[in-house]
Amino acid sequence: MSLTIYEIRNNCNLARQAMTRARNEHFAFGAFNMDNQETLRAVLQAAVKKKAPVLIEVSQGEVDSIGLDNVRDMVTNYKRKYGVEMYINLDHSPSVEAAKAGIDAGFEFIHIDISQAQHDATEDQIIADTKKVVEYAKFTGALVESEPHYFGGSSNLHTEVINYEEIKKTFSTPDGAQQFVQASGIDTFAAAIGNLHGQYPVPKQLDLELLKQIRESIDCNISLHGGSGTPGHYFEEAVKIGVSKVNINSDMRVAYRKTLEEVLRDNPSEYAVIKLMDKVITAVQTVVESKIDMFNSAGKANLV
């Protein structure tokens, strides 16, 4: 069932209020990737149990597989059935056209990431394309997120060690963040402070002092991508500093695959796939619940 423009604008207005609430009350929205209906159910069940507001997010791979309108309808149907506070984030949208399609579909959060598709894109090009999305988003009120350069890693289980000397070269700076936010007009700045896409053999380390400086330099929302594999105390401090959104994907994917492999080994003669998924969903739900606790968002939902 398609949403009316009134419903879309109302959802976007509620999303803006929610991000203000997150910053004022020092919690962060977990932005959890939806690979399929099972992962959506896992996030939903965790949100219901924890009474936490959440973002369901899809990147281009999930969009190509599931479809923007299908994602919108599935989330809307679950929201209406269970009364959860849940919004949709289009993550790492690789072009202006793709971002506009997410806005048209009624997504409340849009992350435009030109450098993801074009690693050598200049900051001027990124700003110009981001401004186009910011302007287009005014029609619905969707919140726009971006960053001035490529953010490394991938949402997978990595075997290589983290080269922090290389990663530090791409860290955000307070002045750079301020200039980018002012030039682009975004609602949310994706900060790079040691966070990195994917899960690695060693825990990630976040530069919280740098985060404080960035928080003081800009007045918009701050997000952290690449939250998987990060010790919880970093998130606990980050939300106190003023992070309002943390992206989680790889931790969920690893739990999903490892549990599915275990279930398949234990049930070699079962071919009704639906009967194999309860344990998988529970494993992913456990990951989501643990992140909700780290983000201080349990009990923070506006229930309807």
Dig out the tokens for 68 from the structure: 């923007």
Length reported for the chain? 304
Give catalytic status of residue 124 as yes or no: no
Catalytic residue among 35, 69, 73, 91: 91
Sequence-separated (6 or more) residues with CB below 8 Å from residue 109:
15, 31, 55, 57, 87, 88, 89, 90, 142, 143, 145, 188
Catalytic residues: 91
